[in-house]
Amino acid sequence: MSLSAPTGEGGLPAVEARVRHRRPWPAILFGLLLLGVVVLLVAAVVPVPYAILTPGPVTNVLGPVAEGPQKGKPLLEPTNAAAYPDTGALYFTTVLEIGSPSDKPSALETFFAWVGGSDEIIPLETLYPEGSSEKSVASENVALMDDSQRVATAVALRKLGMTVTEHIAIVDFPPGSPNKGLLRVGDRFVSIGGTAVTTADEITAAIARQTAGTEVPVVVLRGGAQVHLSLHTQAHGGRTTFGIYLGRTFAFPVDVKVNIENVSGPSAGLMLGLGIYDILQPGSLTNGRRIAGTGEIGDDGTVGPIGGIDQKMIGAVQGGAQWFLAPKDNCDEVFGHVPSGLTVTTVTTFDEALKAVEAIAAGRTSGLPTCTAADVTRIETSPAG
């Protein structure tokens, strides 16, 4: 007696018919996996026109230089006056910028920064406006840092009762400047195109009135003598320029060398001023407290807003600070974004910042101002914003 297998359609064994009608899920899953790998590989190499702002390290202006050729030297070093150490910390905070026109971050890198929560993604043109080069932006930021050091010193010395005289002078030249061989660092403008100038606003306005591509007669003060020159004009960023960086120059009764490298921009000014004020008088301003902060400082002692404050607050916590001094005009970015473990107080002037540090050092902090919803509303409805 013989047995035969049950048959399906066309006489094929039923079991084979069932196998033939199975859906190819393994192949579909494999295809999706392969597609995902391809997408990730493409995202990892395709550049995008954005920059990533991420929390940078903090630096104690009261301590020694942590690395580099000046490692171990005091960050603030008076050259003709005694220095009085402080066991506390006054940190200036930084932001690391990832991305430039020649080295854009990848789409994948930008995506991970976005989902990470502590970084900010901004268009590259925010950092590199149209018509500007990477070298010119870097040079300008270095010049801003140099100027902030001079202004911070002037503000601190004046607060200590010393006399400081000020002038507006040429402090540097951007790459490709047409007048680098004619002008010198330290030159001070007396007149431009026949118009007498003294302040930075007057100098900028006098240059802007000229026609790009023309020659302009100027008089500068150099080494105590007036020098007559004919300067070249050029168009840059939609305006006429001489290809110069202007800055404040001062005659200081006390010289303080600031041993900082690889940091640019003006936002360290407030903390540098507080540090210079602290080291030039006996005693401890901080009473051992660890205080971070940021803010551009003006010659009149005003404290202006800066960028990247979210990342700077995170960096302050990572660096061990418990307190943070923030410009009041940054409240729209501070309110609701203060990281755990950090207390933020707002300031508008150097005097307010100094009083805040003294209050923190003494433990009298209940009355210190902070950002509120009303501050955010005020900033959002102001004529400038």
pLDDT tens per residue, range 309-325: 999 999 999 999 999 99
Please provide the average confidence, as pLDDT, over all residues in the chain.
87
pLDDT tens per residue, range 247-296: 888 889 999 999 988 888 899 999 999 999 999 999 999 999 999 999 99
> Domain segments of the chain: what residues?
9-45, 54-102+130-162+254-380, 165-251
**What local confidence, expressed as pLDDT, does residue 378 receive?**
64
Residues 6+ apart with CB under 8 A from 349: 301, 302, 303
User: Cβ distance 152 to 164 under 8 Å?
Assistant: no
* Between 130 and 77, the higher pLDDT residue: 77
Given a cut of 90, whether residue 380 has pLDDT beyond it is no
Tokens representing residue 342 in the block: 């950090």
Residues 6+ apart with CB under 8 A from 139: 172, 173, 174, 175, 245
Q: What is the dihedral of CA 69, 74, 79, 85, to 10 degrees?
A: -170
Q: Look up residue 244 and give its DSSP letter.
A: -
Report the range of poorest mean pLDDT among 25-39, 132-146, 236-250: 25-39
**Interval 224-244 mean pLDDT:** 92
**Interval 12-19 mean pLDDT:** 47
Given a cut of 50, whether residue 2 has pLDDT beyond it is no
**What local confidence, expressed as pLDDT, does residue 238 receive?**
84
C-alpha–C-alpha distance, residues 159 and 273, integer Å: 10
**What local confidence, expressed as pLDDT, does residue 44 receive?**
59
**Interval 300-304 mean pLDDT:** 95
C-alpha–C-alpha distance, residues 6 and 18, integer Å: 12
Strands 323-327 and 343-347, sheet pairing = parallel
User: Cβ distance 144 to 230 under 8 Å?
Assistant: no
- 165-251: CATH topology is Pdz3 Domain (2.30.42)
pLDDT tens per residue, range 328-373: 999 999 999 999 999 999 999 999 999 999 999 999 999 999 998 8
pLDDT tens per residue, range 74-122: 999 998 899 999 999 999 999 999 988 888 888 888 888 888 778 888 8
Q: Of the ranges 33-47, 163-177, 254-268, 354-368, which is most confident?
A: 354-368
Given a cut of 70, whether residue 240 has pLDDT beyond it is yes
Give the pLDDT band (50/70/90) at residue 36.
Answer: low
Strands 323-327 and 290-293, sheet pairing = parallel
User: Cβ distance 7 to 16 under 8 Å?
Assistant: no
DSSP-H helix ranges across 252-380: 269-279, 309-318, 331-334, 350-362, 373-380
Nearest alpha carbon to residue 129 among 186, 51, 190: 51
**What local confidence, expressed as pLDDT, does residue 377 receive?**
67
Tokens representing residue 37 in the block: 């790998």
Give the pLDDT band (50/70/90) at residue 384.
Answer: very low
Tokens representing residue 63 in the block: 């301590």
First-to-last alpha carbon distance for the chain, in angstroms, is: 97
Angular region, 33: left φ>0, alpha ψ -120 to 50, beta rest: alpha
Q: Which long-range contacts (CB under 8 A, 24 or more apart) does 374-378 make?
A: 375/328, 375/331, 375/332, 375/335, 375/346, 376/331, 376/332, 376/335
Q: Return the CATH architecture of domain 54-102+130-162+254-380.
A: 2-Layer Sandwich (3.30)
Strands 188-192 and 215-222, sheet pairing = antiparallel
CA distances from 97 to 41, 203, 308 (A): 24, 32, 10
Residue with tokens 């008088």: 281
**What local confidence, expressed as pLDDT, does residue 4 receive?**
45
C-alpha–C-alpha distance, residues 74 and 65, integer Å: 6
